[in-house]
Amino acid sequence: MELGLAGRSAIVTGGASNIGRAIVRGLVDEGALVTIADVDEAQAQRVADESPPGRVFVDRTDVTDVESVEGMVQRTLAAAGAPHILVNCAGWTIDRLFLDKPRSEWEREIAVDIWGFINVTRALLPHMVAQLYGRVVSIGSDAGRIGEWREAVYSGTKASVIAMSKSLARELGGRGITFNVVCPGIVPGQRETSGAASVWSGEQGAQFTPEILEKAARAYPLRRVGTPEDIVPAVLFLASDCASYITGQTLSVSGGYTMM
């Protein structure tokens, strides 16, 4: 299938590590120009260095900070033109029982997962409206579909992304802009592809020992947890004109963990 992404300008938030990194590489392989908007500039630069020259732009961006986001958008306009594609991939969580979780972690989850989505989407939409074209693909989570154990607030943030995407799909479909959500299950980060800012480089990653991951895999019909590369095909498809008649949809790419 010809996706027609060559020459498209794309922004991937959280594109330095894990799922975001794999999405950047997938877009580049399809010929897109990609801006990595990530707080981890060093790791983002490593991804850019792995890519063909002039195809990946690095912009140190804090998605929770409106001024940082607006600056990133202006620099992307100058470097690669008006973005055709936005992949909201930046996310943060630490799994913990609700009663054991400090407020600082709730606030961080809400800031990155909800406000990050709002800040970046709002900053980009005027440019997509002006060109009557846009593909917004957000990385949700199966937690946002079912309400996952030890992920109460995170489940709520990802459910919010799903609901906001549906509302925006209704508002902006007439402007040629689509909104869809891809929901992974467990996709463990690998140390060799995770920067220092990645949740998988800290306490979150330490919780998922090989024994825990083996136990988790047994809950999946396909009997394995996901890899970053498993998520990429769905994102590329929804970011392409092959999916021009698909909007407001939520697609689980999680080995059958949820079937909805």
Question: What does the pLDDT read at residue 193?
Answer: 74
Q: Which fold has domain 9-251?
A: Rossmann fold (3.40.50)
Task: Identify the band that residue 260 occupies on the pLDDT scale cut at 50, 70 and 90.
Answer: confident
Place of tokens 């937690």: 143
Task: Identify the band that residue 192 occupies on the pLDDT scale cut at 50, 70 and 90.
Answer: low
pLDDT tens digits along 40-65: 999 999 999 999 999 999 999 999 99
Question: What does the pLDDT read at residue 13?
Answer: 98
- Domain range annotation of the chain: 9-251
Q: Which residues contact 47 (CB under 8 A, 6 or more apart)?
A: 15, 16, 21, 24, 25, 36, 56, 58
- With pLDDT > 90 as the criterion, what percentage of the chain qualifies? 93
| The 3-state secondary structure of the chain, one letter per residue | CCCCCCCCEEEEECCCCHHHHHHHHHHHHCCCEEEEEECCHHHHHHHHHCCCCCCEEEEECCCCCHHHHHHHHHHHHHHHCCCCEEEECCCCCCCCCHHHCCHHHHHHHHHHHHHHHHHHHHHHHHHHHHHCCEEEEEECCCHHHHCCCCCHHHHHHHHHHHHHHHHHHHHHHHHCEEEEEEEECCCCCCHHHCCCCCHHHCHHHHHCCHHHHHHHHCCCCCCCCCCHHHHHHHHHHHCCHHHCCCCCEEEEECCCCCCC
Question: What does the pLDDT read at residue 41?
Answer: 97
pLDDT tens digits along 14-46: 999 999 999 999 999 999 999 999 999 999 999
For the segment 98-119, the average pLDDT, to the nearest whole number, is 98
d(CA 110, CA 106): 6
Place of tokens 């909805």: 260
Active-site amino acid positions: 154
pLDDT, averaged across the chain: 96
- With pLDDT > 70 as the criterion, what percentage of the chain qualifies? 99
Cα 117 to Cα 4, 14, 137: the distances in Å are 26, 11, 11
pLDDT surpasses 70 at 109: yes
Question: What does the pLDDT read at residue 199?
Answer: 86
Question: What does the pLDDT read at residue 79?
Answer: 94
Question: What does the pLDDT read at residue 18?
Answer: 95
Q: Which residues contact 117 (CB under 8 A, 6 or more apart)?
A: 88, 138, 160, 161, 164
Task: Identify the band that residue 197 occupies on the pLDDT scale cut at 50, 70 and 90.
Answer: confident
d(CA 208, CA 198): 14
